[in-house]
Structures are given as structure tokens and as C-alpha cells.
Structure 1
Amino acid sequence: MALLEVKDLHIGLQTQRGPAEAVRGIDFTLERGETLGIVGESGCGKSITVMSLMGLLPASARVTGSIKFDGTELVGRSEKAMCQIRGNRIGMIFQEPMTALNPVHTIVRQIGEPLRLHRGLTGAAARAEVLALLERVGIPDPASRLDAYPHQFSGGQRQRIGIAMALACGPDLLIADEPTTALDVTIQKQILDLIQSLVAERGMALILISHDLGVIAQSVSKMAVMYGGSIVESGPTDTLFAARAHPYTQGLFAARPALGAPRGTRLATIRGSVPELVDLPPGCPFAGRCRLTVDACHTTRPPATPLPHGHLARCLRLDEALATEEAVA
């Protein structure tokens, strides 16, 4: 049995222009110890998908489909029941550590909270466990900093503290939502190396959200490309990097800067702009921006077409896309 199984997940949100589908029938599975990367433009549904796994969606959100975690259905589960899973069996590293940490509470109190709630540790036992966690994530001289506040740490150190909180109860699944966005390049690498080593060390499954294709290539064994609330392409990372099938994926890769390109070389772009959720076509969400768009693309949702090596893509003109594999005009 898979650790995580998501089937036909739909998430509807209320917007100023009316109801909109933020996630449109996505499917994926994650085995124990497996690593999954999710990529795509801002607003494509990456973060709201993982928030649904944690039960952290707005009260007005409408969720249908199935999210099974270790055989337990999470859709429709009560807040009380989700509190037994959140921070215990599923841990999450948030994008911005300064907003994820409470500025008026000490570090030992914040990291110790899940230990108190889920493992019943208090006093000296909880303090000792927090100290061990801070040592493991590389906080310098942690014994003297247990009673410090978030503002007394650098950005990279705050993210390490966030990782310690996520790991406190030894979760089966770790979610990292763009954990290096606010950090400089050197610190980014340190944080990513730390997450990878901890996942391997503890045998956790990992979902990593990132805009950086290089990070995805180095960090996860399989990946999913999202656009307009849909997973348009998925498969093993090596396979997808070597044989990009969906026009949107091809456009993302073509837009990367090329090492050694002549000065002044213009990057390839994807024509048009990302539509608002309420304006997405009922068919393929990429219809209109895609160079291969035909009338049927606007009205017919493409099925997930199997390709070699566990690779899937949703495109009505997949043969043409595979034949060209050119940059999106």
C-alpha cells in the first residue's frame, strides 16, 4: 500500500470574480522513502495541493476526490483528527521561515510544542530533545540559544529551525514548500543538502515544491509538472528531463539560461500570460498559449497518456509535441 495516494483531487476556491477550480483532478502516489518534486509557475496549484494534505485550506474551500495517507482518507476528516496527523506523521517546512515562526515565543518552546502535543514530553526531556534536533540541523552552539527568539537568528538559521520543528516527531512524510526561496545561493545548497540527508537518514517520503529545475534534478527521484491546477506531465526525474513530452514542460526547459550562451542572447519565452483561475478553459489549461492549440484543446480535457518508463503526459497532440520538442513560441 502506498504511503500517499491522491486520486481525482479537485479544490474549489471563492475569488472576487466568483468560484474557481484551483486544483482540477490531479492524481499521484508516493511510496515510503520516495521523493517527489512539483514544479510550475506561481498560481498553478502547487502550494494549495500540499496544503490540502495538511488540512490547512481556507474554511470556504471545496474539496472532492480522495487523499489517502497510509490507508486513511483525509478528505472530510475533522480538524481534531487532522491535528493528530499534522506535525506528527506529516511535517512541513514552509516557504518563509520568519512568518512560519512565532516572534514572541522562544525557539525551545516552538520546537517543543509538537513534542508536548504528540509525544507527551515536558520539561527537561523536551528540552533535551530540542537540543538534539538543533544540533542535527546545524545550529551553532545550540545549548546557549534554546531560549533565543526568531529575530536573533539569520534567515538560514531560521529555516534550519523550521526544519527541526518539522522533524520533531519523526514524520513519515516531509513536505518542503520552496524552502530556499528567501535564502542566498550558498545557504540554499546547505539547506537542500540537509533536507536530502535527513530524508535518507530517517527513511521519510519527501514532497519538494520548487521553481528551480536544477534543484528538482538534484533532489528528487520523480517529478510532476503543474499548470492551471492540473498535472500536465509526470514521471521519473531522469526520464522527464531527457524526454520532455508536454508543450508546457518543453517551454519551461527552453526558458532556462544556457551556460556559455553568447552575451545578449534572448531567452525563449512562453507566449501569452497565465490566465486567472476563473478564466481557464474547460479543456487543456494550456490551450491558447500552446503552439499546437486546436479547437478541441479548449473543450476536451486531455487524458493521461502513458509513455515509456512510467512517464505520463496530458496532451491531445502528444505525437506532434514529441516530434518537435521545440521551445514554445
Structure 2
Amino acid sequence: MPLLDVQDLAVTLQTQRGPVRAVRDMGFTLERGQTLGLVGESGCGKSVTALALMGLLPENARATGSVRLNGQELLGLPESQLRRLRGDRIGMVFQEPMTALNPVHTIGRQVAEPLRLHRGLSASAARREAVALLDRVGIPDAARRIDGYPHQFSGGQRQRITIAMALACGPDLLIADEPTTALDVTVQQQILELIRGLVQERGMALILISHDLGVVAQHVDRLIVMYGGSAVEGGPTRTVFADPMHPYTLGLFGARPHLGRARGERLATIPGTVPDLPDLPPGCPFAGRCTFTIPDCHTTVPPPAPVGPGHHARCIRLDAVAAARAAPGRNTA
């Protein structure tokens, strides 16, 4: 039995223009110790997927399908039971620590809170454990600074504090949603290495959400590329990077800057713009922006098709994509 089993997950939002599907037919499994990356442009459904797993969707959202953690179905659980899981069996690192941390409480109180709620530790025991956690995530002089407030720490240190909070109870699953947003490159690398080391040390599963292809290339074993709320391609990270097959993945990878480009050379771009969720076609969400679009693409929901060992893509024109990739000089973005 996998640690996390997500099948046919869909999230529908009620908007002024009627119901729209923010996540469509999402499915994956995750074993203890495995790492999975979710990548795609802003608005593609990455964070909504994470919120659905945590049971933290907004009131105007409804999730259907199945999300099982250690065999227990999470969708439909009462809020009281979800609260017992959040911060205990599932930890989450949010992308902006200043909104995740309470500015009027000390960091020690906030790191100790899940230990008191879920582990039943006394105030003194929780404080000792909080000091150890803060020290483990690299907060200097943690025993003295535990009574500090969030504004007294740097951005990188605040992110380390949120990681300590997420890891306090030793969760089975850690979800990191853009954990290095607004951090400089050096601190970003330190935070990502910290997360990777802690995941390996504690044998957790990790879902890393990012729009930074370089980040996921270095830090996850498997990769799912999302567009318009759908998982358009997925597989082992090295395989997807070496042999992308979905037209959106090809366009996304083709737009990356590369060393050695001629001065003044323009980056490749994907034609068109990302449509609003209510305007997505009923078939493939990438239809219309894709150079391989045919009329059926607008109406046919493409099933995941195998393109290699553990590697799949949702496209009804994979043969045409493969032929175009084989043609010299052809830009398939």
C-alpha cells in the first residue's frame, strides 16, 4: 500500500462565471522516502492540489475523487479529524513565511504548538524539543532566540522556522509549496538542501511545488508537469528532462535560458497566453496554444499515454510530436 494514493482528484471552484475546474483528474502515488515535484506556470493548479491534500481548500471549492494517506480516505473527513492529521502526519511549508507565522507569538511558542497539540508534551518538554528543532534547521543560538518574534529574523531564517514547525511531529508526508520564494540564490540552495537532508534523515515522502525547473531537476526523483489544472506529463525527473513529449513540456523547457546563447538572442516563447480557467477548452487544456492542435484537441480529453518506463503524457498527437522532434531544426514549442 503506498503512503499517498491520489486518484481522479478534481477541484471545482464556484466563481461569478459559474463552476470551474481548477484541478482535473489528478492522480499519482507516493511511497515513503520518495520525492515528487509539481511544476508549471502560475495558476496551473499546483497549490490548489496541495491545499486539497491538506483539506485547506477555500469555502467556494469542492474536491472529488480519492486521496488516501496510509489507506485512510481524506476527502470528506470531518474538520476535527483533518486537524488531527495536519501538522502531525502531514506537514506543509508555505511559500511565504511572514503570512504562515503569527507575528504576535514567539517562534518558540509556534514551533512548540504542534508538539503540545499532537504529542501531548508539557510546556517545558515542548520548549526543549522546539530548541532542538530550531537548532537542527540552522537557527543560530536557538536557545536564546526561541523567545524572539518573526520580524526579528531574516527571510531565510523565517523559512527555516516554518520548516521546523512542519517537521515538529515527524510527519509521514511533507509538502513544500514554493519554499524558496523571494530568497536569494545562496539562501535558496541552503533551504532546499536542508529540506532534502531532513527528508532523507527521517524517511518522509516529499512533494515539492515549484515553477523553477532547475530546483526540481536537482531535488526530486519524479516530476509532474501541470497545465490548466491537468497533469499533462509525468515520470522520472531525469527521463522527463531528457525526453519531454508533451508539447507544453517542450515549450516550457525550450523557454529556459541556456549558457552559450548568442548575445541578444531571444528566448523561445509559447504562442498565446494562458486562458482563464472558465475559458479552458473542454478537451486538452493546451489546445489552441499548441502548434499541433487539430479540431479533436478542443473536444477530446486526452488520456495518459505511456511514452516510456514510468513516463506518460496526455496528448492525442504524440506520434506527430515524436515525428516533429525527429526532424532536424524543427521547433516543437
TM-score (norm 2): 0.97
1:146 aligns with 2:154: no
- Partner residue, 2:188: 188
Deviations 1:261-311 (A, max 9, x none): 111010000010111111111100000000000000000000110122210
Give the distance between the partners of 2:282 and 2:61, measured in 1 at CA. Answer: 20
Give the distance between the partners of 2:172 and 2:85, measured in 1 at CA. Answer: 10
Q: Is the 8 A contact 1:270 1:328 kept in 2?
A: no
Give the distance between the partners of 2:43 and 2:251, measured in 1 at CA. Answer: 17
Question: 1:199, CA displacement in angstroms?
Answer: 0.3
SS at match of 2:197: helix
The letter for the 2-side match of 1:203 is: G
The letter for the 2-side match of 1:199 is: V
SS at match of 1:42: coil
- Partner residue, 1:302: 302
- Partner residue, 1:238: 238
Question: 1:60, CA displacement in angstroms?
Answer: 2.3
Structure 1, 116-125 or 241-250: larger mean CA deviation: 116-125
Q: Is the 8 A contact 2:283 2:301 kept in 1?
A: yes
Give the distance between the partners of 1:232 and 1:257, measured in 2 at CA. Answer: 22
The letter for the 2-side match of 1:320 is: A
- Partner residue, 1:135: 135
SS at match of 2:309: helix
Give the distance between the partners of 1:117 and 1:324, measured in 2 at CA. Answer: 57
Give the distance between the partners of 1:44 and 1:65, measured in 2 at CA. Answer: 19
- Partner residue, 2:46: 46
Q: Is the 8 A contact 1:222 1:237 kept in 2?
A: yes
Q: Is the 8 A contact 1:268 1:328 kept in 2?
A: no
Q: Is the 8 A contact 1:268 1:327 kept in 2?
A: no
Q: Is the 8 A contact 1:8 1:25 kept in 2?
A: yes
- Partner residue, 2:274: 274
The alignment's C-alpha RMSD in Å is 0.9
Q: Is the 8 A contact 2:93 2:162 kept in 1?
A: yes
Give the distance between the partners of 2:138 and 2:200, measured in 1 at CA. Answer: 17
Give the distance between the partners of 1:8 and 1:230, measured in 2 at CA. Answer: 11
1:116 aligns with 2:116: yes
- Partner residue, 2:204: 204
1:213 aligns with 2:239: no
Give the distance between the partners of 2:260 and 2:238, measured in 1 at CA. Answer: 23
SS at match of 1:32: coil
SS at match of 1:194: helix
Question: 1:59, CA displacement in angstroms?
Answer: 1.9
1:173 aligns with 2:173: yes
- Partner residue, 1:86: 86
- Partner residue, 1:105: 105
Q: Is the 8 A contact 1:244 1:322 kept in 2?
A: no
Structure 1, 59-68 or 282-291: larger mean CA deviation: 59-68
Q: Is the 8 A contact 2:88 2:118 kept in 1?
A: yes
The letter for the 2-side match of 1:252 is: L
Structure 1, 18-27 or 154-163: larger mean CA deviation: 18-27
SS at match of 2:195: helix
Question: 1:323, CA displacement in angstroms?
Answer: 2.5
Question: 1:225, CA displacement in angstroms?
Answer: 0.2
Structure 1, 287-296 or 305-314: larger mean CA deviation: 305-314
Give the distance between the partners of 2:76 and 2:124, measured in 1 at CA. Answer: 38
Give the distance between the partners of 1:48 and 1:185, measured in 2 at CA. Answer: 26
The letter for the 2-side match of 1:18 is: G
Deviations 1:78-123 (A, max 9, x none): 1001011100000000000011100000011100110010000122
Give the distance between the partners of 2:197 and 2:280, measured in 1 at CA. Answer: 40
Q: Is the 8 A contact 1:269 1:328 kept in 2?
A: no
- Structure 2, unpaired ranges of 5+: none
Deviations 1:165-214 (A, max 9, x none): 00000000000000001101010000000000000000000000011111
SS at match of 2:114: helix
- What percentage of aligned pairs have identical amino acids? 69
Q: Is the 8 A contact 2:96 2:179 kept in 1?
A: yes
Deviations 1:121-152 (A, max 9, x none): 12210110000000100001111101100000
- Partner residue, 1:289: 289
Give the distance between the partners of 1:116 and 1:324, measured in 2 at CA. Answer: 59
Q: Is the 8 A contact 2:225 2:234 kept in 1?
A: yes
Give the distance between the partners of 1:135 and 1:327, measured in 2 at CA. Answer: 50
Give the distance between the partners of 1:81 and 1:12, measured in 2 at CA. Answer: 23
Distance 1:221 1:253, change over 3 A: same
Q: Aligned pair count?
A: 329
Give the distance between the partners of 1:328 and 1:271, measured in 2 at CA. Answer: 11
Q: Is the 8 A contact 2:223 2:236 kept in 1?
A: yes
The letter for the 2-side match of 1:318 is: L
- Partner residue, 1:59: 59
Give the distance between the partners of 1:193 and 1:16, measured in 2 at CA. Answer: 42
